[in-house]
Amino acid sequence: MSDATAGFKRLTRLDRARERLEERLVPTDRTTTRRLEAADGRVLATAIDARRDVPHYERAAMDGFAVRARDTFGASERSPAVLDRDETTNPRAGTWVHTGSELPAGADAVVMVEQTEEVDGEIEVHEPVAEGANVAPVGEDVEAGTRLYEPGHRLRPSDLGLVKSVGIGEIETYDPPTVGVIPTGEELVQHGPEAGETIETNGLTVSRYVERWGGEATYRDVVTDDRAALRAAIERDLTKEIVVATGGSSVGERDLVPSIVDELGELLIHGVALEPGHPVGIGIVEETPVLALPGYPVAAIVTAVQLLRPALKRIGRLSRHPQPTTEARLDAKLPSEPGTRTFARVELNEEGDDSIAVPVRTGGAGVLSSVALADGWVIIPESSEGLPAGETVAVEHWEQLP
């Protein structure tokens, strides 16, 4: 056991820790009917079928003249088809239309304006058009009855526009998972730190990630390292679907959260084989999962990404997709302890057509800038003792929404 993990009886593999947590999670069944304006980012609880065709009428696909195609047959530059500009009195006529205009009765094609010339109140057509040319038919975009989305789809702005276009103004969505985020530590302040004090960042960071990942966070005031105060704070948020405490998760005198969780319920796991972030606790209190994240900022972020995000996806019925990655060549060696999954922060530089991954730091779980200013991280598996310089790696862009 390394110095970094001293004090822990055993470390659980990350995959097993996720499994044990997710075994105790129940997907939400709470739903709300929302207007489209309030549904961005929400998860559909019901399927969406188109109520009408889009477009629901034949429309011009470009600016020009609506015509009967047969009236243009044989047209050329030398021998144009001549149509009446006054469509009200002559069936051999061209009616001016804008893109999106309804096609006039009797017309079955549109001649582009570039292929016409107006001469003495008449329209000369220099190229023939076929029936249906430059016309968007009924249902070209969406046909009535088409299944657009299945339950579980997380709505994007483009989805809302499509749903509105087919005649739907309200939809039923699952309510987002609720999360109480409790920053802990007697040294934490929100502003103006004096010697020995530290600005609180973990609670802010984690609560914003909760919102980004589809949850609804309540960012609590800092709770000092007092057993009664910490116990009360955790009990207060048991009405949430997840409770997250940041700090106080290790094995020191002031690391009280894991033992409090065990007193109130069941501490499933204390210590996970990942770096940074091994001093993490996972428990269940009154059927509510409680995560005790490390106090070091980078460790808090790594454990939130690896444990909290998949928990939110399961509870919120969110689809899971792999994070986007960039293939790159390592600029320097990345060390790792066998048996531990390591998340090494890197910057990406361009060298010709290649991407180069430059390690930011391999240690320093308390150096927030090392992750905030990085482009991503390289995941070193438990089976490896590190990666050599020159190795081709996948840089995971963990902050991007998958």
Reported as a single tens digit per residue, the pLDDT across 313-372 is 999 998 888 899 999 999 999 999 999 999 999 999 998 888 999 998 656 665 667 777
Tell me, yes or no, whether 185 and 294 share the same domain. yes
pLDDT at site 26:
94
Of 263, 287, 316, the last residue of a domain is 316
Looking at residue 50, what is its pLDDT?
Answer: 96
Asked if the model's pLDDT at residue 4 lies above 60, the reply is: no
Mark whether 107 and 170 lie in a shared domain.
no
* Cβ burial, residue 79 (10 Å; 0-12/13-18/19+): exposed
How confident is the model at residue 19, as a pLDDT? 96
Residues of the chain with pLDDT > 90: what percent? Answer: 75
Reported as a pLDDT band with limits 50, 70 and 90, residue 3 is very low
Task: Give residue 197's pLDDT.
Answer: 83
pLDDT tops 50 at residue 273: yes
Q: What is the mean pLDDT of the chain?
A: 91
pLDDT attached to residue 144 = 95
Cis peptide before 279 (omega within 30 of 0): no
Q: What angle do CA 13, 16, 22 make, to 5 degrees?
A: 140
Is the residue at 4 inside a domain? no
Question: What is the CB-side half-sphere exposure of residue 207 using CA atoms within 13 A?
Answer: 16
Locate 197 and state its tokens: 């004090």
Q: What is the pLDDT of residue 224?
A: 94
Q: Domain end: 116, 148, 174, which one?
A: 174
Q: Which of 273, 288, 316 is the last residue of a domain?
A: 316
* 372 in the same domain as 298: no
Asked if residue 373 belongs to a domain, the reply is yes
Please check whether residues 256 and 344 belong to one and the same domain. no
Q: What's the pLDDT score for residue 61?
A: 93
Higher pLDDT pick, 32 / 351: 32
Residues 110 and 151 in one domain: no
Q: Could you give phi then psi for residue 389, rounded to 5 degrees?
A: -60, 140
| Domain membership flag for residue 334 | yes
CATH code for the domain of 40: 3.90.105.10
Question: Tokens 């696909």 label which residue?
Answer: 61
Q: So what's the pLDDT on residue 322? A: 87
Task: Give the angle subtended at the CA of 358 by the CAs of 274 and 387, to the nearest 5°.
Answer: 50
- Residue written as tokens 């770096």? 275
What is residue 175's DSSP assignment? Answer: P
Identify the pLDDT of residue 161. 96
- Min mean pLDDT across 1-15, 173-187, 352-366 is at 1-15
- Residue 384 counted as domain residue: yes
Asked if residue 25 and residue 68 are part of one domain, the reply reads: no
Residue 97 in tokens: 């239309």
6 found inside a domain: no
167 and 182, same domain (yes or no): no
**Same domain? 350 vs 385:** yes
Residues 287, 332, single domain; the answer is no
Overall domain count for the chain: 4
Tell me the residue range of the domain where 375 lies. Answer: 325-397
Question: What CATH number is given to the structural domain containing 127?
Answer: 2.170.190.11
According to the model, what pLDDT value does residue 9 have? 74
pTM value is 0.84
8 domain-assigned: no
Q: Given a cut of 60, is residue 6 above it in pLDDT? A: no
User: According to the model, what pLDDT value does residue 193 have?
Assistant: 86
Task: Specify whether 99 is located in the same domain as 64.
Answer: yes
In the three-class reduction of DSSP (H, G, I as helix; E, B as strand; rest coil), residue 119 is classed as strand
pLDDT at 12 over 60: yes
Q: Which two tokens stand for residue 172?
A: 């039923």
Is 106 contained in some domain?
Answer: yes
Are residue 259 and residue 342 in the same domain, yes or no?
no
d(CA 308, CA 210): 8
Q: What is the pLDDT of residue 1?
A: 44
Q: Output the domain CATH number for residue 349.
A: 2.40.340.10
Is 60 exceeded by the pLDDT of residue 46?
Answer: yes
Write out pLDDT tens, residues 110-165. Answer: 999 999 998 888 899 999 999 999 999 999 999 999 999 999 999 999 999 999 99
Q: What is the pLDDT of residue 86?
A: 59
What does the angle CA 315 – CA 321 – CA 325 come to, to the nearest 5 degrees? 135
pLDDT at position 363 is 62
One domain, residues 26 and 40: no
Instruction: Report the share of the chain in percent with pLDDT over 70.
Output: 95
Long-range CB pairs of 215-220, under 8 A, 24+ apart, other chains included = 215/176, 215/177, 215/178, 215/179, 215/242, 215/312, 215/316, 216/175, 216/176, 216/177, 216/178, 216/179, 217/179, 217/180, 217/181, 218/178, 218/179, 218/180, 218/181, 219/181, 220/180, 220/181, 220/182, 220/183
Determine, yes or no, domain membership for 304: yes
